[in-house]
Amino acid sequence: MKRYFLFLVLLQLLFVGVHAQLKSPSDFLGYPLGSRHTPHHLVQRYMEYVATKKSDQVELREYGRTQEGRPLLFLAISSANNLNRLEDIRKANLAIANGFLTGGAAQFKALPAIVWLSYNVHGNEASSTEAAMLTIYELLREGSDCAAWLNNTVVLIDPCLNPDGRDRYVNWYQSVVGKKFNPNPLSREHQEPWPGGRSNHYYFDLNRDWAWLTQLESQQRIKLYRSWMPHVHVDLHEQGYNEPYYFAPAAEPYHEIITPWQRKFQQDIGANHARYFDQNGWLYFTRERFDLLYPSYGDTYPVYNGSIGMTYEQGGIRAGLGIVNEDGDTLTLYARLIHHVTTSLSTIEVSARQQQKLIQEFAAFFENARNKGMGSFKSFVIKADTRREAYLQKLLTLLDAHGIEYKTGTNTSAKGYNYATTKEEVFSISSSDIVINAAQTNGALVQVLFEPRTQLVDSATYDITAWSLPYAYGLQAYATKEKVAQGASWKPTTATISSTTYGYALPWNSPAAATFAARLLQAGVKLRYAEDSFFTEGKKFDPGTILILKTSNESWGNQLFDKVVTWANEQAVNLVPLSSGLVQQGADFGSDKVHPLSAPRVALLSGEGTYSLSVGEVWHFFEQQLNYPITLLNVNSFSSADLAAFDVLVLAEGRYRFLENKDSFEGVQKWIQGGGRLILLGETTRQLTKLDLGLVLRKEEDAAEKNGSPVLFKNRERDQLSAITTGSIWRVSLDASHPLAFGYPGFYYSLKTDATIFESLKEDKGWNVGQTQQEGPLAGFVGSRLQPKLNGGLVIGQLPVGRGNISFFADNILFRNFWENGKLLFCNALFFNAR
């Protein structure tokens, strides 16, 4: 093996070589691999060439397209014998996972281990796609020491999970690098401009989206992944260029359902990697920083699906073709890709050696999930609520994508953990409720996604510590320690919309309702909304109800309601027919409590100073869910923008110069006074405290000063944990009468990812719409010094300014676009102009 690596290095450095039957990437591309970045279309050509040249060992598929239309590629590589029966191998592996193939050791021995290698999920971590090409070549070239491994493995390779981000980075870098690369870190080729190439087209981090599937690339990849269910999955990354190399075993915390075998195999892999790195004198570290908890990573999602999931991290972000690191060494693209090739091949080597054990433990993982369930809860019950039906349907669509089984309930009762009160309670179960039993093939994933509180053995985590889906979707739920009986398969309700000659009411209770209203507004349909609840024709309608009336829509003639009903059926939106504007309780439709709803002209600031991921969340929500036009303005030219062309300005998370003081805010303030509406998300809201608008940040008491105990140097990082929260969930009490809270049941589950929180506004300054409850978080880690500050603070509010207003949300209500429960809050700020 050592001889092979020496040959690999010499082959690339000489860039000549033996003209073997299969060309190396360097020979094919016409330049030494590592001397420049390879754009995606050339990567594709090399994959096509390999698949054609080695058709007896390689199968190439295009499994989807990115938002920008680039192909997503997938190669299956194995021995000729295995490739000839590739589909049989795939089906047999799925049968093992689902308990249909139970022949034991004899059958397992006949099947190869399935190893999946994923490269370049972050576009500007560019070495891994280069490494993918060389890894493929080394597996297939004549005389390779790796050939024997393919008898025991099927190697699945995705050479670039994020082609849009990669090409954004590669094209930029090629445009700024000189005749020779400049290794000085201050050189412009190491100063990537906004938004950078890390993210996809919509500026999303695809390595946080494996479980949530908000992005097109993720949706297509998971469909493919679940059609294979590999035994080993590796996600290859880069970290800061001053770091060496990280590989398994992972850091704590591990989720409690991770099996002893999954832990042991990580150690075996790490030992094998270390052997090669030690032989070559390469630095590395293990068991630090990169844990196995948050379920939406490229290592944890596979782990919770029976695989050995691992992340490998090569130092190299900002390195370009070469950069001088803090040790004074020049780290080159070539060196980085060679390290990734080494761990890629080492992973295949260990997997081939332990092929039978991998398959046996894979089978045992799912058998245990089906027979016993994993974790302490046996069932999860989602209560039916007609006002939250759209949220429930969206949740069930997600479960379908992950192969999670569910059915309706039976008319019975049970005792379980109430997500809303955090107490054990007896509750009733109806045939309309959803019951998800943990004892199923995907029981591990069920447990991780639904458990109310994730157990932490270490609070120093790499990402959020709370994500439970009932909170994310704002649904009433219970978790039981006894298995709950299931009824029939769930079927969505299909309400028939009755005809009317007067009008329709659209209940304002989900983003789906907002999407439908947005469609009507763009089509020119005039809408109104009720400020207060009303009762008519035997039904109660909540504040925010949208009215679609013949009044003001005469230009549509007799086509209005036919068109509205057609669109409602297309979008599965329920409308309630109205026969009169006279109501039994509340304000009649001609009252000044019923307001016109106009189509706002919306702008979003983007560019340097804004956080690209947060900008992307807003942009994606408008284009892919709300289907509503939005104009992205560049911060650098904002001072010359004519704000009169817009009604709403959205500020995603970031730092904005015009919010630094009252003088710089004057122009925007005049626009608001004239009727403009400003929406601020997340930590950006902190800047409002500089503008003398009456908003004041809460301060935390300095616990260290009170007890006088000094912090030891070795504990300096852990001491900081006492003042942070890593993604905790809070129940927020809402003023349900305020338009910002329309469609909510008097409370909201908020995901808090930082310490931003405010003192209550004085009555003459604005509206206190949402405040955290005093009891502390429902789930997730909050530091001991920070928690008192977060109890009972203001997180949602509105500041009236002249004829306009400023709506602020201290927490990012569109976080990664998986926090469904926050999206209607955003729609309220967008469409309703509180007076």
- Segment among 18-27, 256-265, 541-550 with least mean pLDDT: 18-27
pLDDT at res. 708: 54
pLDDT (tens digit per residue) in 113-148:
999 999 999 999 999 999 999 999 999 999 998 989
Edge-to-edge strands of the sheet including 423-429? 407-408, 434-437, 379-382, 477-480, 412-418, 423-429
pLDDT at res. 104: 65
Buried b (16+ CB within 10 A) or exposed e, 404-419: bbbbbbeeeebebbbb
For residue 201, what are the contacts with CB-CB under 8 A and spacing of at least 6?
66, 67, 68, 164, 165
> Is the separation of the CB atoms in 651 and 680 below 8 Å?
yes
pLDDT (tens digit per residue) in 370-397:
998 889 999 999 999 989 999 999 999 9
Token pair 């709950």: residue: 484
Q: If we measure between CA atoms, which residue out of 265, 295, 264, 261 comes closest to residue 442?
A: 295
pLDDT at res. 713: 72
pLDDT (tens digit per residue) in 429-453:
999 999 999 999 999 999 999 999 9
Q: Work out the pLDDT band at 406, boundaries 50, 70, 90.
A: very high
pLDDT at res. 427: 97
Q: For residues 378 and 371, give the distance between their C-alpha atoms in angstroms, rounded to a whole number.
A: 11
Any idea what DSSP says for residue 206? G
For residue 600, what are the contacts with CB-CB under 8 A and spacing of at least 6?
647, 648, 677, 830, 831
Tell me the pLDDT of the chain averaged across its residues: 94
Going from the C-alpha of 482 to that of each of 416, 437, 447, the distances in angstroms are: 8, 10, 14
pLDDT at res. 502: 95
Strand extents, DSSP E, 487-545 = 503-506, 527-530, 534-536, 539-541
Is the C-alpha dihedral spanning 304, 452, 683, 671 positive or negative? positive
pLDDT (tens digit per residue) in 809-822:
999 999 999 999 99
Coil/strand/helix, residue 300: helix
Q: Are strands 631-634 and 602-606 parallel, antiparallel or unpaired?
A: parallel
pLDDT at res. 14: 44
Buried b (16+ CB within 10 A) or exposed e, 569-580: eeeebbbbbbee
Instruction: Check pLDDT > 50 for residue 664.
Output: yes
> Is the separation of the CB atoms in 829 and 767 below 8 Å?
no
Instruction: Report percent pLDDT > 90 for the chain.
Output: 88
Strand extents, DSSP E, 171-298 = 232-240, 245-246, 251-254, 291-292
Going from the C-alpha of 803 to that of each of 673, 677, 703, 833, 834, the distances in angstroms are: 5, 9, 43, 9, 9
Q: Work out the pLDDT band at 710, boundaries 50, 70, 90.
A: confident
Q: For residues 738 and 689, give the distance between their C-alpha atoms in angstroms, rounded to a whole number.
A: 22
How many Cα atoms are found within 13 Å in the side-chain-facing hemisphere of 76?
Answer: 24
DSSP for 24-86, written as a single string: PHHHHHTS-TTSSPPPHHHHHHHHHHHHHHTTTTEEEEEEEE-TT-PEEEEEEE--HHHHHTH
Burial class (CB in 10 A: 0-12, 13-18, 19+), 142: exposed
Question: Which position has the higher pLDDT, 494 or 631?
Answer: 631
Q: For residues 276 and 274, give the distance between their C-alpha atoms in angstroms, rounded to a whole number.
A: 5
Instruction: Check pLDDT > 80 for residue 160.
Output: yes
pLDDT at res. 627: 98
pLDDT at res. 494: 79
Q: Are strands 153-158 and 113-119 parallel, antiparallel or unpaired?
A: parallel
Q: For residues 6 and 14, give the distance between their C-alpha atoms in angstroms, rounded to a whole number.
A: 12
Q: For residues 375 and 311, give the distance between their C-alpha atoms in angstroms, rounded to a whole number.
A: 24
Q: For residues 665 and 646, give the distance between their C-alpha atoms in angstroms, rounded to a whole number.
A: 17
Give the residue-averaged pLDDT of 317-346. Answer: 98
Instruction: Check pLDDT > 60 for residue 704.
Output: no
Buried b (16+ CB within 10 A) or exposed e, 619-649: bbbbeebbebebeebebeebeebebeebbbb
Question: And the tokens for 569?
Answer: 């059926």
Q: For residues 643 and 646, give the distance between their C-alpha atoms in angstroms, rounded to a whole number.
A: 5
pLDDT at res. 101: 75
Q: For residues 50 and 40, give the distance between their C-alpha atoms in angstroms, rounded to a whole number.
A: 15
Q: At CA 475, angle to CA 473 and CA 478, rounded to 5?
A: 125
Q: If we measure between CA atoms, which residue out of 183, 346, 376, 174 comes closest to residue 275?
A: 346
Is the C-alpha dihedral spanning 488, 493, 494, 495 positive or negative? positive
Strand partners, 155: 77, 115
DSSP for 610-666, written as a single string: B-HHHHHHHHHIIIIII----EEEEGGGGGG--GGG-SEEEE-SB--GGGSSHHHHH
Instruction: Check pLDDT > 70 for residue 567.
Output: yes
For residue 475, what are the contacts with CB-CB under 8 A and spacing of at least 6?
382, 383, 385, 388, 391, 392, 395, 469
Coil/strand/helix, residue 705: helix
pLDDT at res. 462: 72
Q: At CA 173, angle to CA 171 and CA 175, rounded to 5?
A: 70
> Is the separation of the CB atoms in 26 and 16 below 8 Å?
no
pLDDT at res. 13: 43
Q: Work out the pLDDT band at 16, boundaries 50, 70, 90.
A: very low
Q: For residues 648 and 650, give the distance between their C-alpha atoms in angstroms, rounded to a whole number.
A: 7
pLDDT (tens digit per residue) in 741-793:
999 999 999 999 999 999 999 999 999 999 999 999 999 999 988 999 999 99
Q: For residues 731 and 354, give the distance between their C-alpha atoms in angstroms, rounded to a whole number.
A: 48
- Segment among 1-15, 422-436, 554-568 with least mean pLDDT: 1-15
Q: For residues 750 and 757, give the distance between their C-alpha atoms in angstroms, rounded to a whole number.
A: 12
Q: For residues 119 and 126, give the distance between their C-alpha atoms in angstroms, rounded to a whole number.
A: 9
Instruction: Check pLDDT > 90 for residue 109.
Output: no
pLDDT at res. 716: 62
> Is the separation of the CB atoms in 348 and 269 below 8 Å?
no
pTM score, whole prediction: 0.95
Instruction: Check pLDDT > 80 for residue 1.
Output: no
The verdict on whether omega for the bond into residue 195 sits within 30 degrees of 0, i.e. cis, is: yes
Question: And the tokens for 162?
Answer: 């994020």
Instruction: Report percent pLDDT > 70 for the chain.
Output: 95
